[in-house]
Amino acid sequence: MPAEPAVARGPATGAPLRRRGEALENAIFEAALQQLTADGYARLTMEGVAAAAQTGKAALYRRWPSKEELVKDALRACLPPVGPPPDTGGLRGDLVEVVTRLRAAMLSEPGAAVRAIMGELDQQRAHTFLAIVLERVVEPTAALIAEVLARGATRGEVRPGSVTPLVTDVVPALMLYRVKMCGGAPAQLDPAEIVDEVLLPIVRP
């Protein structure tokens, strides 16, 4: 027999909330990320997530055996994609757009959740979560930068031979360093300044 939809009582009317599939999953992910950002990883509980998502604990435990697995899936599902390569018509405009997208990902709710994890857990315990960020955000951003720089090289805007893995890693590494090690907020990162003062001087002819 098909599983019964998760049922909970609405906070205002007491009417049952009947959600299943993607709608229920999205509510659970949102609740998990909000609680992680507000309270930290140690205080995050499956019970608290279920209550915030207005569902039963069984709906969570049927799919996720632990809060670690739940948080990993929430990050995979909710971290914003970096999108296709921009085409503003020029190298600087394209680079600013890529850096702006990366900052938007860092400012997003999943980005705030990642910062909470990085601030609370040691490197070993945070590794499984950071690997998802690398896969979904950092590495695609570096690939976009490489593609934008390669196009710039064909137009003579980029010095031949300057597009290397170290160069394409500079921007993500700088932004993560400023937030993690220097205690800065992503909103303080200016994409235009990063492009003009860091990346373009490295690759200009």
Residue 120: is its pLDDT beyond 90? no
Quote the mean pLDDT of the chain. Answer: 87
The pLDDT value given to residue 182: 67
pTM over 0.95: no
The pLDDT value given to residue 20: 65
* 8 Å CB contact between 202 and 170: yes
Residue 36: is its pLDDT beyond 70? yes
pLDDT tens, 70-119?
Answer: 999 999 999 998 899 999 989 999 999 999 999 999 889 999 999 889 88
The whole-angstrom separation of Cα 147 and Cα 176 is: 21
pLDDT tens, 46-67?
Answer: 999 999 999 999 989 999 999 9
Which domains are seen in the chain, by residue range? 6-76 (1.10.357.10), 82-203 (1.10.357.10)
Confidence category of residue 139, pLDDT binned at 50, 70, 90: very high
44-176-129 Cα angle (round to 5)? 35
The pLDDT value given to residue 21: 74
Residue 9: is its pLDDT beyond 60? no
* 8 Å CB contact between 148 and 99: no
Residue 123: is its pLDDT beyond 80? no
The pLDDT value given to residue 189: 87
The pLDDT value given to residue 19: 58
